[in-house]
Homo-oligomer: A and B are copies of this chain.
Amino acid sequence: MAYRTGVVGASGYTGAELLRLLAGHPEVDVVHVTADANAGREVGELYPSLASAYGSLRYAALDPADLAGLDVAFVALPHGESQRVVPALAGAVAHVVDLGADFRLPAGVYERWYGTPHDAPGLLDRFSFGLPELFRAEMAERPHVAAPGCYPTAASLALAPAIARGLVEPAGIVVNACSGVSGRGRGLSAPSLFSEANESVSAYGLLTHRHTAEIELALGRLAAEDVQVLFTPHLVPMTRGILATCTARPATDGLSTAKLLDEYRDFYDGEPFVRVLDEPPATKATWSSNAVHVTVRFDERTGTVLALAAEDNLVKGASGQAIQGANLLLGLPEVLGLPAVGVAP
């Protein structure tokens, strides 16, 4: 018998992507979807791509009581709204999987990067940082999951083996990442317009992008010491995909590209979604899948470790990873409903 789930905030891109993936999930039924601004409309009206799977389902305005008793509630609300909704939800459903930023960081770090105190600090301990490849054990011990951001997923998986095994210094790390425009969501804003984004690359959020805190948090746990990252995100003219290009200074002698590739392959051995490639990864190969493709180099000339990771920002960077977390909470195989094969070309 399938698990019963609901999606809160199901009209945005990560909500729609949850619905797309869950339509193919053999053990999960979507029984309720909310979208305040689109309440009353059919899912297939907003997303004709989903019409064949959710023909008669209509968005409801959010009322936590409507979700009472569900096995899992996925929350795909804009940052800041989850902490208002989750207190009611957490008591009503078995598991909450939040795709927003609200339950990823400790209260103090949250306040420092978001400039406002957390509304529900008492609930933070009930959420794990939902990156299974790095924190699977912790995830199994807590009832709820805060799925990490799109950039932190790519950057953390690119650097994790090097950090966890003490191969690079925890300071002086530089992460440059390129993201497709869907990372900005479905909201209307000038930089999201086709005519503005097309044929253009630009960086944004210089020095201050909030995902920095998540990258430092994830890597800091692996390093068991403070990690410092300068993170610069870029917007590139594509719909989906993130490529993180990371540099770090070596912490040991004797590094080489071959040794690093070996360490990475050993670290990710058995992971169904992470592949360590000899060649530079392309986001296209991960398109619409939950895969992450990684490679690593040691530059002897400048004494620098270079690590790259590619993913689909809406899948492994958001909705796929949320489902991976839900599978884990429900005791299902982690890969259920999640393609590792990308759509290319």
Indicate which residue in B194, B207, B301 contacts A237 across the interface (CB closer than 8 Å).
Answer: B194
Q: Distance in Å from the Cβ of A264 to the closest Cβ of chain B?
A: 15
CB of A251, distance to nearest CB on chain B (Å): 15
A269-324 interface (Cβ within 8 A of B): 272, 275, 277, 279-289, 291, 293, 295, 297, 299, 301-302, 304, 306, 308, 310
- Specify the chain B residue showing the minimal Cβ separation from A296: B206
The chain B residue with its CB closest to the CB of A46 is B190
Say whether B275 contacts A52, CB under 8 Å. Answer: yes
Known: A178-B236, A195-B345, A232-B245. A339 touches B186 (CB 8 A): no
Chain B: CB-nearest residue to A13:
B345
Q: Pick from B20, B174, B234: contact of A178, CB below 8 A.
A: B234
A330 within 8 A of B: no
Tell yes or no: A197 within 8 A of B by CB. yes
Known: A174-B247, A193-B186. A203 touches B280 (CB 8 A): yes
Please state if B188 and A188 are interface contacts (CB–CB under 8 Å).
yes
Residues from chain B with Cβ under 8 Å of A157 in the complex: none
Residues A49 and B200 in contact, CB atoms below 8 Å apart: no
Measured between beta carbons, the chain B residues less than 8 angstroms from A195 are 13, 180-182, 184, 186, 192, 239, 345
- Report the count of interface residues on A (CB-CB < 8 A): 86
Contact check, A238 vs B275: say whether CB atoms are below 8 A apart: no
Copies of this protein in the assembly total 4
Contacts of A301 in B (CB 8 A): 207, 228, 230
Q: Would you list the 6 A-B pairs with minimal beta carbon distance, nearest first?
A: A200-B284, A49-B342, A202-B282, A48-B285, A195-B345, A188-B188
Residue A114 CB within 8 A of the other chain: no
Residues 150-175 of A at the B interface (beta carbon under 8 Å): 171-172, 174
Is the CB of A51 closer than 8 A to any CB of chain B? yes
**Smallest CB separation, A46 vs chain B (Å):** 10
In the complex formed, the residue of B with least CB distance to A203 is B280
Q: Is A327 an interface residue (CB 8 A)?
A: no
Does A196 belong to the interface (CB within 8 Å)? yes
Contact (A241, B201) CB under 8 Å given A49-B284, A196-B345: yes
Q: Give bound CA distance, A106 to B206, whole Å.
A: 37
Report how far A176 CA is from B281 CA in the complex, Å.
16
Inter-subunit contact B53/A340 (CB<8 Å): yes
- Judge whether A204 is part of the interface by a CB distance below 8 angstroms: yes
B339 touches A24 (CB 8 A): yes
B contact residues around A99 at 8 Å (CB): none
List residues of chain B with CB within 8 A of the CB of A299: 207, 230
Q: Which residue of B lies closest to A45 (CB)?
A: B279
What chain B residues lie within 8 Å of A190 (beta carbons)? Answer: 186, 188
